[in-house]
Structure 1
Amino acid sequence: MRQATGTYGGRSAQERRAERRERFLRAALEQFGDRPGYRASSVTGLCEAAGLSTRQFYEEFRNLEDVLTQLHLLVNDRTEQAVLRALADTAGRAFEPRIAAVLRAYVTAATDDPRRLRIAFVEIIGVSAELERGRLVRRRRWVDLIVAEAEAAVRRGEAAPRDYRIAATAFIGAVNGLLHDWTAEQFRATLDQVVDELVALLLGVVRPPAR
């Protein structure tokens, strides 16, 4: 199918398509991340929420799973950028204040919008083998970051040398579970309390108390 390439209303065809795609993604963030949820959504309902046609939908996406995949990538990219800024801001600092800044950036970015949190930790689970592979790829990137920071602490003499991959994987699982339960109001805590608890947990992994 040939795509229009001219301008209309002062905007190029590429700009109009980018705007339509953004409208679909905004509508999907609302529907998948709140009500009715991904599994109860439909292409027709999403198009109605976006104010666009099903023809326009299929010009941008293959199906609803494709939309969910794109949202998952965007949510993770947003959180990752916040963490990378924290890493840049704390370059050269010791492990404890550095990891505290990183965890605060992660928690703040991951929980500032309950819809994004639901997409990252709930709606993405069990949809398909392809989405699960993508989720695990992203999870490995977070594990790699923790391992890299732990190994840097070893080189600075702040931690004992060992293989930190299993511990980092367990820590990432604990982070995800804690944030999900916190935002679901399974317990009451401030942002500072959540960050402090995660910092203490990670320090316990990297610098366990002597027996």
Structure 2
Amino acid sequence: MTGRLRAPKGRYGGRSAEERQAERRRRFLDAALRLFGDSPGFRQTTVAALSQAAGLSTRQFYEEFRTLEDVLAALHLEVNGWAEQAVLDALAAAEGLPLAERVAVLFRAYARDVTCDPRRIRITFVEIIGVSPALEEQRLARRARWVDLIRAEADAAVGRGEAAPRDYRLAATAFIGSVNGLLHDWSAGWVDASLDEVVDELVRQLLGILRPQGWRG
């Protein structure tokens, strides 16, 4: 299969072809969140099983996607997009707050979004790993956006005199790895703590990076 089949055009049932296509795509992605993010997981799901879960045909699947990997890629970007938007909305509302409060707002928004549905965590931190070079590149590119967000916040804090001036590139990269690992382990039940305690720990870690011992703003 080198490309998608052509979808019909025109209006049917009061809806345009574009609206029907968007609805089909939404149904496939919702079904993928259930199957990839829970049981049986991405590697054990077939096109036929996904189509059945979506209440659609395999022909309709190939009108929207080429492979199941394309579905996982789209779902991974969507889950990350939801979390990013939650963080950006929270940061906009936290404009003008002192650094410690602003950092707490950032991580509470992120943690609430990614943990509100365990399937989102599995898509982001488990199912996407090791599928293909293309998906690994996408995963790392998406993680780089989170690194850039942390760096931007750090640089802004430096400009306000609330953080020590330095290049935060490596520190932000290492910190994002810590965030991902801790939230994954917490969601898997390997960390005996409440979500608030997890967020508080992440806030302390980031503040420790931004304000090392001995630094005076």
> Which TM class, normalised by the smaller chain length?
over 0.9
The structure 2 residue matched to 1:77, chosen from 65, 78, 81, is 81
The structure 2 residue matched to 1:20, chosen from 18, 24, 42, is 24
Partner of residue 205, structure 2: 201
* Residues 159 and 206 in structure 1, CA contact (< 8 A), matched pair in contact too: yes
Against the structure 1 CA distance between its residues 165 and 79, is the aligned structure 2 distance closer, same or farther, given a 3 Å change threshold?
same
- Give the whole-Å Cα distance in 2 for the aligned partners of 1:67 and 1:99: 33
Instruction: Give the C-alpha shift of residue 130 in structure 1.
Output: 0.8
* Residues 33 and 115 in structure 1, CA contact (< 8 A), matched pair in contact too: yes
- Give the whole-Å Cα distance in 1 for the aligned partners of 2:160 and 2:50: 52
Q: Which SS does the other structure have where 2:140 is aligned?
A: helix
Q: Which SS does the other structure have where 1:98 is aligned?
A: helix
* Partner amino acid, structure 1, of 2:163: A
Partner of residue 61, structure 1: 65
Partner of residue 7, structure 1: 11
Per-residue CA deviations over 1:32-58 (Å, capped at 9, x if unaligned) read 000000011111111111111111000
- Give the whole-Å Cα distance in 2 for the aligned partners of 1:3 and 1:38: 26
* Residues 51 and 58 in structure 2, CA contact (< 8 A), matched pair in contact too: yes
Number of aligned positions between the proteins: 211
After superposition, residues 104-143 of structure 1 pair within 5 angstroms as 104-143=108-147
* Residues 164 and 212 in structure 2, CA contact (< 8 A), matched pair in contact too: no
Per-residue CA deviations over 1:132-151 (Å, capped at 9, x if unaligned) read 11111111111111111111
- Give the whole-Å Cα distance in 2 for the aligned partners of 1:169 and 1:37: 28
- Give the whole-Å Cα distance in 1 for the aligned partners of 2:90 and 2:21: 34
- Give the whole-Å Cα distance in 2 for the aligned partners of 1:177 and 1:2: 42
Instruction: Give the C-alpha shift of residue 4 in structure 1.
Output: 2.0
- Give the whole-Å Cα distance in 2 for the aligned partners of 1:129 and 1:5: 35
* Residues 69 and 131 in structure 1, CA contact (< 8 A), matched pair in contact too: yes
Q: Which SS does the other structure have where 2:66 is aligned?
A: coil
Instruction: Give the C-alpha shift of residue 205 in structure 1.
Output: 0.8
Q: Which SS does the other structure have where 1:7 is aligned?
A: coil
* Residues 146 and 168 in structure 1, CA contact (< 8 A), matched pair in contact too: yes
Instruction: Give the C-alpha shift of residue 2 in structure 1.
Output: 4.8
- Give the whole-Å Cα distance in 1 for the aligned partners of 2:85 and 2:163: 27
- Give the whole-Å Cα distance in 2 for the aligned partners of 1:18 and 1:154: 44
- Give the whole-Å Cα distance in 1 for the aligned partners of 2:87 and 2:199: 14
4+ runs deviating over 4 angstroms = none
The structure 2 residue matched to 1:37, chosen from 17, 41, 44, is 41
- Give the whole-Å Cα distance in 2 for the aligned partners of 1:199 and 1:72: 25
Q: Which SS does the other structure have where 2:200 is aligned?
A: helix
Q: Which SS does the other structure have where 1:11 is aligned?
A: coil
Matched, 1:171 2:175: yes
Partner of residue 156, structure 1: 160
What runs of 5+ residues in structure 1 fail to find an aligned partner?
A: none
- Give the whole-Å Cα distance in 1 for the aligned partners of 2:7 and 2:174: 48
**More off after superposition, 115-124 vs 183-192:** 183-192
* Residues 79 and 106 in structure 1, CA contact (< 8 A), matched pair in contact too: yes
- Give the whole-Å Cα distance in 1 for the aligned partners of 2:109 and 2:180: 14
* Partner amino acid, structure 1, of 2:166: R
Against the structure 1 CA distance between its residues 2 and 191, is the aligned structure 2 distance closer, same or farther, given a 3 Å change threshold?
closer
- Give the whole-Å Cα distance in 2 for the aligned partners of 1:103 and 1:154: 19
Structure 2 length normalisation: TM-score? 0.94
Structure 1 length normalisation: TM-score? 0.96
